[in-house]
Copies of this chain bind each other. A is one copy, B any other.
Amino acid sequence: MRAALMYGAGDVRVGQVADPALKEPTDALVRVTTACVCGSDLHPYRAMSAAGGPVRMGHEFIGVVEEAGSEVRTVARGDLVVAPFAYSDGTCEHCRAGLQTSCVHGGFWAVGGADGGQGEAVRVPLADGTLVRLPVAPDDALIPSLLTLSDVLGTGHHAAVRGGVRQGSTVTVIGDGAVGLLAVLASRRLGAERIVLMGRHTARTDLGRAFGATDVVAERGAEGVEKVRDLTGGGSPVVIEAVGLRPAYEQAYGVVRAGGTISRVGVPQYEEAPIGFGTLFGANVTLTGGPAPVRAYIAELLPDILEGRIEPGRVFDRTVDLDGTPEGYRAMDAREALKVLVRP
């Protein structure tokens, strides 16, 4: 079959890979009908060494079950399903605690031999713990919104949940990518009253306003920090960091209020960063977040999409076929596209 492969920074190609097949009785084989490119795919797109390539890509997909292993109980041939960006058994202590990204038997797509979502088909391990059936057709108009259950909506929701957003909250969201915008939507959905969005791409921040942002701050650095501190009367009680680069983290501890919480969902492209007296400790700031256990959130978020209360699929502003995937990366990297849908 054909799939997207990353050969190194800036070099994505579509090529032949081995056809996936069931290996374990808990596997399912899914024919991908819709996938997409993630902001986090741009990290290797900008930095990956050619020595490590080629690697499979993509961790967000919807597809039709072609074949289910003998022990699979919850999905069957012909079902349309959505896959979270991590697969998980659904039964270990972490899964039962709602932390599927730490599943003791789980893993991530396109890592360690697992298939990637940007391709024609995927072998899905632990299908019962991983896949969720969707009660629509593969070409339903809701598909873009449903695809955000794979990652960006659940990730924005996780950021808000971990940040403690509730009725009346004041929240600052750093980053106007798809996750940042959906963190705005998720914060509004949980009742936040004041939502400051830090971003400077007007088309994106306009969508952020449509999702519920009450204020937009385009300034960065010290100027941006001062503006947010002014707007929030001395600092934001909740700050969502939806970028993953160190300047965004620095922005976060700059704008957070004493006693407040920084919730990170942008995958950190750094390991060490300041957490001492002058940044987190002195003001009793809490740092939380991590890879969202989106599988845990699908049951809660799905009805809001099906019943039209939220429309997270608006983050998709371009569609390509599988051959168009390299162009999708390029357009997102150049910030010509916010998020690119792939229809293999």
Are A286 and B284 in touch, CB under 8 angstroms?
no
- The docked-state distance in angstroms from the alpha carbon of A264 to that of B286 is 10
Closest approach, in angstroms, between the C-beta of A270 and any C-beta of chain B?
Answer: 6
Query: Taking the full assembly, how many copies of this chain does it contain?
Result: 2
Which of the candidate stretches A23-31, A65-73, A275-283, A327-335 sits at the interface with the other chain? A275-283
Tell whether A274 is near chain B: CB-to-CB under 8 Å.
yes
Are B258 and A102 in touch, CB under 8 angstroms?
yes
- The docked-state distance in angstroms from the alpha carbon of A258 to that of B97 is 10
Majority-rule SS of A interface residues: mixed
Size class of the contact patch on chain A:
35 or more
- Which residues of chain B have C-beta atoms less than 8 A from A275's C-beta? 268, 271-273, 275, 287
- The docked-state distance in angstroms from the alpha carbon of A277 to that of B280 is 18
- Which residues of chain B have C-beta atoms less than 8 A from A302's C-beta? none
Are B258 and A281 in touch, CB under 8 angstroms?
no
A residues lining the B interface (CB < 8 Å): 93-94, 97, 99, 101-102, 162, 234, 258-259, 264, 267-268, 270-291, 293
Closest 10 CB pairs of A and B: A284-B290, A271-B276, A102-B258, A286-B288, A268-B276, A287-B287, A99-B259, A272-B272, A281-B290, A271-B274
